[in-house]
Structure 1
Amino acid sequence: MDMERLTPVLRRLALEAGAKIMEIYDADDFDVRAKSDDSPVTAADEAADALIAAGLREAFPDTAVITEEQAESHKLDAASFLIVDPLDGTKEFVKRRGDFTVNIAYVADGQPVRGVVYAPAKNRLFYTRPDGATVEETGPFGLDAPGETRPLKVRTPDESALIVVASKSHRDAATDDYINRYSVADSAAAGSSLKFCLVAAGEADLYPRLGRTMEWDTAAGHAVLNGAGGRVVRFDDHSPLTYGKPGYENPFFIAYAPGVTLRPAR
């Protein structure tokens, strides 16, 4: 993999896909269909997927591309691969709540080492650099005219007053029970992989996920959080969350800023 070339390509494809998504989001209406697992899919998912997959395969023809919307790709088995969720947070998209993202990541030896998370409705682009992670305020800027950027850095948690972020669409009693084991000063709800990015930006300390996710849901946000100094571990034994698992399905996990003393699973 040409690592120097990787981030610019991921950034450009995320922005181009975000523009396609927003064309459909801003339309008066759009169709919503159910996939075989009953999750929703729209023309925005499919348009963004086609654009990103074609761009990645052209730029990196020797690297496997795993994408949510192409079931055949889920059968691939590779030590390193690009992994894509072209529209993470489709439920948020359908409800026009803005908390949806374009996720693209590169995984090597079980870890996401580069990633881009773009929230086009919020004009925020989060991405990794060789020396860390950055957030860019995209605004009306063109692909070749980056907006204002600042480095991302997790904050030092105050364990007597933690800030917790959880899912808007998937929060349940088990998640609340786990959160209640901490001293929480404030909590926030966010959709898609923006939860990782809130921890990366120092706007939250802890994001527990006690529900089903797939690797394309998490890899890009995980990479950004790693770049900002954060960590992502399995819920059951607090070992690092790894990638390239059978079926690309994740166990429950916890994303957090170092300094949070993790409570054990029960």
Structure 2
Amino acid sequence: MPSGASPSKAEQLLQQLRDTYVLELPSRIDAIENAILNLRETEDFEAQFQDLYRDVHSMKGTAGTHGLQVFTPILHLLEDLLSSRLARATHIEAENLELALACVDLLREARVCVAANESDFAAIEMRIQALGRRLSAGALRVLLVDNSRTSRRLCMQVLHALNAEVTTASDGYAALARLLHEPFDLLVTGSEIGTLSGDALIAALRLSRSINRDIRTILLTSRHGAPTVETEPDHVIARDARLVQNLSDYVGRLQPVAAAASD
């Protein structure tokens, strides 16, 4: 919109919807907190868990729609906690309850900043990084990006066998959004991952000021020839019969490094 110009009716409507959403955030956050606390004593853990996961996922999507990106990495962390530690559980352990409630505290802190029209979220981002490290508990934190479900499943089996904490994405832009705000030790990406290629994803990461700027990167590719100089992945693995072995060998060597970094 040009400087000095009045907002259009559509822009006014979008702003009204955003303002309403911000006003409703306290009750939404309270509802998520209550659902987490109810996991301690519910007789139908699975149903309560599924409802909670849907609410978290819905809140994440709506926050993104309204341009409230500060909430996205917090809700990603809560989703990751739910999917990695509670999806097959029958109760919530004290440590996981504490971590989930820490995510709720971050949501409340972010809401206060948004309601006050603040734009500096550096303190919140530092707490997100610290919470991400607690969630990984010293394991190698891997972001796996591939738009092939079969390939993702194969790579996840390798990474889980190495006790890595794995987060997945099927699109390069979604992966970059997470890399800019959440801590990882390793990026494993396919070369063709939607509108943003694996080469471009690695290049964008290296040019960013993200905490992940210097993490190790692996490019999975079926192409012949070396990647571009701008990309500079740390390791290239061909999609061939030796993919599983080569991925296991390389990531296995990184495990001691991750453990030392978390101490």
Length-normalised TM-score, structure 1: 0.32
Q: Which has the higher contact order (CA 8 A, sep 6+)?
A: 1
Q: Which has the larger radius of gyration?
A: 2
Of Structure 1 and Structure 2, which has the larger fraction of its residues in strand? 1
Of Structure 1 and Structure 2, which has the larger fraction of its residues in helix? 2
